[in-house]
A and B are shown apart, each in its own frame.
Chain A
Amino acid sequence: MSTEPLEIDTLEGEFSTLNLGPTHPATHGIFQNILTMNGERIYHSEQTVGYIHRAFEKIAEHRPFNQITPLTDRLNYCSSPINNLGWHMTVEKLIGCTVPKRVDYMRVIIMELARIADHLVCNTVIAVDTGALTGFTYMFQEREKIYELYEEVCGARLTTNIGRIGGFERDFSPAFHQKLKKFLAEFPKKFQEFCDLTERNRVFMDRVINACPFDAERCLNYGFTGPNLRAAGVDYDVRVMNPYSSYQDFDFIIPVGISGDTYDRYIVRQKEIWESVKIINQAYNNLPEGDYHADVPEFYLPPKDDVYNNMEALIYHFKIVMGEMDVPKGEVYHSVEGGNGELGYYLVSDGGRKPFRLHFRRPCFIYYQAYPEMIKGCLLSDAVVTLSSLNVIAGELDA
């Protein structure tokens, strides 16, 4: 059972140094923590990140706009559709394109499925770190069903490159409708089993309640967003504060915690999965009729039979594939609610076919710097379970 952290200044005795990482099975990612410990208690820690720095921002200055979508996939790869669709929305904001309502609802369905997938990974891994492997094995089956839904839309499982600037490349197929109906009918029961396994389980609760609490004021100062901030009691959700993609049409609550400890972060994510199921049900039952893409011929590929028969379509096709689309000059910032919080895209365009500057506001990078303060004075086992509850994805951390 985790106890109150001791006052650091009263600790005496010998200190030992423990190197946790960079490749450690308990960290679920590649980042190094060098801990100075007194017995089991952590006195001080130092982080080293950058072990998978792939220079995304520099690559983005050398690629046309639709070649940046596969790059955004690899930011938070557990919920890549959210990254892709956020990027498409940023470009649409820059060029001043409004998409039809049907596209908005289709995007909401895909983004909420991605959020469920991301939260499932995080929560099952918290359970694994406390020793409960069953949840991991059963819930990854549900992730396979979500992967099948992605495959119906875009053909890929993990790094999806889903959608296009202006909408989607094709409408939802009949197989997608059938699989989604089946998923919505069966998932709640299976997820309820996972909830019953852990949420009111005495052993699990003793392990994670009071493990590294972090209050709301410090969270805000450190730039926390997403479930980690909501666990501390601040109900900030980009979907509600700056709605995008017709989120204002849907009825859902924002679950918040009280003390910002690991149990609160866990429960907030569990409740968000239930809210996502609610949103998908609303979006699917009210899916409006209409086009599945906007009318932006400079950015959206024309249908193939037009390309072979129509000169204008042929020229547009050539220009889009060769990356010769012209965009207006300007700077735009757009943010979406990713799996870990506010994922922002700051795009500066100088009128050319590649961005002049693209900066990703990566939530993992910003809140991971609070980790040393969170674990000061805690036991090592609390520190490990706190790290999994923060859901630090190495791809988003280093970019």
Chain B
Amino acid sequence: MVKTVNAPDGFEGPGFFATGVDKIIGLARANSLWPLPFATSCCGIEFMATMGSNYDLARFGMERMSFSPRQADVLLVAGTIAKKLGPVLKQVYDQMAEPRWVIAIGACASSGGIFDTYSVLQGIDKVIPVDVYVPGCPPRPEQIIDGIIKLQELVKHESGNRRNSNEYKALKDSYQIS
């Protein structure tokens, strides 16, 4: 028995269904996100376990991992990011096309984790804007899936004009992203 997603609210009649454009596009985007796994350390192994058959990320539409940033929607940063890797991360993020989202998986990606040292970036939100933080060291696969479901809620309810708004432009300027 195949479970389908619920249709958004709208006005239905014989042979037609009317709803907002934002809602349809949000629904389509949320259930077919193409992730870019940016796995650096231990959280990467838990991410591999999430992709495996026991926890199965493909149920949520993330069947196809894209390793090319130009074709990806979501950047899943799993693991410690050192200061040496910061510019590389920014370069990968810059290459992604709008709309794009970022999930920071694990304590190291969210805030530096247990590594409060001179060489570790204390959270990837120092270089790129982040949408969802998944805490844990490493987070269990169920937690990672919870983070992805929260992102799907964000994507479903995002307004169509968000990427052109002034607040978004100010956010991009604060990170020096063109």
Chain A residues engaging chain B, CB cutoff 8 angstroms:
22-25, 30, 50-55, 58-59, 70-71, 73-74, 77-78, 121, 136-137, 140-141, 143-144, 147, 157-159, 394-395, 398
With A22-B88, A140-B48 already in contact, the answer to whether A159 and B40 are too (CB < 8 A) is no
Q: Are B54 and A144 in contact (CB under 8 A)?
A: yes
Q: Which of A24, A78, A140, A395 lies in contact with B52, CB distance below 8 A?
A: A140
Contacts A141-B52, A143-B49 known; list 18 others, CB within 8 Å.
A22-B85, A25-B67, A51-B40, A52-B40, A52-B41, A52-B81, A52-B82, A53-B119, A54-B117, A58-B118, A70-B114, A140-B53, A141-B53, A144-B52, A157-B49, A157-B140, A159-B138, A395-B42
Task: Tell me whether B84 and A77 are in contact (CB under 8 A).
Answer: no
Given contacts A54-B120, A59-B115, A159-B137, contact A141 B42 (CB under 8 A): no
Q: Which residue of A lies closest to B91 (CB)?
A: A23
Cα–Cα, bound, A58→B120 (Å): 13
CB–CB B42/A77 < 8 A: yes
Residue of A nearest to B67 (CB): A25
Which 9 pairs, one residue from A and one from B, show the smallest C-beta to C-beta distance?
Answer: A140-B52, A77-B42, A55-B117, A51-B85, A25-B67, A54-B115, A144-B54, A53-B119, A395-B41
Q: Is B18 an interface residue (CB 8 A)?
A: no
Cα–Cα distance between A324 and B140 once the two chains are bound (Å): 33
B120 cross-chain contacts in A, Cβ below 8 A: 54-55
**Smallest beta-carbon distance B69→chain A, Å:** 10
Task: Report the Cα distance A137→B53, complex, angstroms.
Answer: 6
Q: Which residues of A lie under 8 Å from residue B135 when comparing CB positions?
A: none
Residue among A24, A50, A78, A144 making CB contact with B45, cutoff 8 Å? A78
Contact call B84/A50, Cβ cutoff below 8 A = yes
Cβ-defined contact, B46 with A157, below 8 A: yes
Q: How many Å from the CB of A342 to the closest CB on chain B?
A: 22
The residues of B that contact A54 with a CB separation of less than 8 Å are 80, 82, 115, 117, 119-120
A contact face: mostly helix, strand, loop, or mixed: helix
Chain B residues whose CB sits within 8 angstroms of the CB of A53 once the complex forms: 82, 84, 119
- Most chain A Cβ neighbours within 10 Å, of B40, B53, B92: B40
| B79 adjacent to chain A (CB < 8 Å) | yes
Determine whether the beta carbon of A141 is less than 8 Å from that of B54: yes
Q: How many A-B residue pairs have CB under 8 A?
A: 86
- Give, as a whole number of angstroms, the nearest-CB distance from A137 to chain B: 5
Which residue of B45, B49, B115, B137 is within 8 Å of A55 (Cβ)? B115
Say whether, besides A55-B120, A140-B53, A141-B52, A158 and B45 are in contact (CB < 8 Å). Answer: yes
* Contact call B82/A59, Cβ cutoff below 8 A: no
The chain A residue with its CB closest to the CB of B55 is A144
Return the chain A residue nearest B117 by Cβ: A55
In the bound complex, residues from chain B placing their C-beta under 8 Å from that of A398 are 82
Q: How far is the CA of A59 from the CA of B80 in the complex (A)?
A: 15
| Contact, CB under 8 Å: B40 / A58 | no
- Residues of chain B in range 106-163 having any CB-CB distance to chain A below 8 Å: 114-115, 117-120, 137-138, 140
Residues of B within 8 Å of A24, CB to CB, are 67
Whole-angstrom CA separation of A134 from B108 in the bound complex? 31
Known: A30-B85, A53-B82, A54-B80. A144 touches B42 (CB 8 A): no
Q: Contact check: which of B92, B115, B138 meets A23 at CB < 8 Å? A: B92
CA distance A333 to B146 in the complex (A): 44
Taking CB atoms, residues of chain B closer than 8 Å to A51 are 40, 82, 84-85, 88
Q: Is the CB of A140 within 8 A of B46?
A: no
Distance of A54 Cα from B120 Cα, bound (Å): 6
Could you list some 29 contacts between A and B, CB below 8 A? A23-B40, A24-B67, A52-B40, A52-B81, A53-B84, A53-B119, A54-B80, A54-B82, A55-B115, A55-B118, A58-B118, A59-B115, A70-B114, A71-B114, A73-B42, A77-B42, A78-B45, A121-B45, A140-B54, A141-B54, A144-B52, A144-B54, A157-B46, A157-B138, A157-B140, A158-B138, A159-B137, A159-B138, A394-B40
Note all chain A residues with C-beta closer than 8 A to B48. 140
Contacts of A23 in B (CB 8 A): 38, 40, 85, 88, 92
> Which among A25, A30, A143, A144 has the highest number of chain B CB atoms within 10 Å?
A30
> Nearest-CB distance from B63 to chain A (Å)?
13
**A140–B41 touching, CB < 8 Å:** no
Residue on A nearest B88 in the bound complex, by CB: A22
CB distance from A130 to the nearest CB of B (A): 18
Give the residues in chain B near A77, CB-CB below 8 Å. Answer: 41-42, 45
A30–B40 CB distance below 8 A: yes
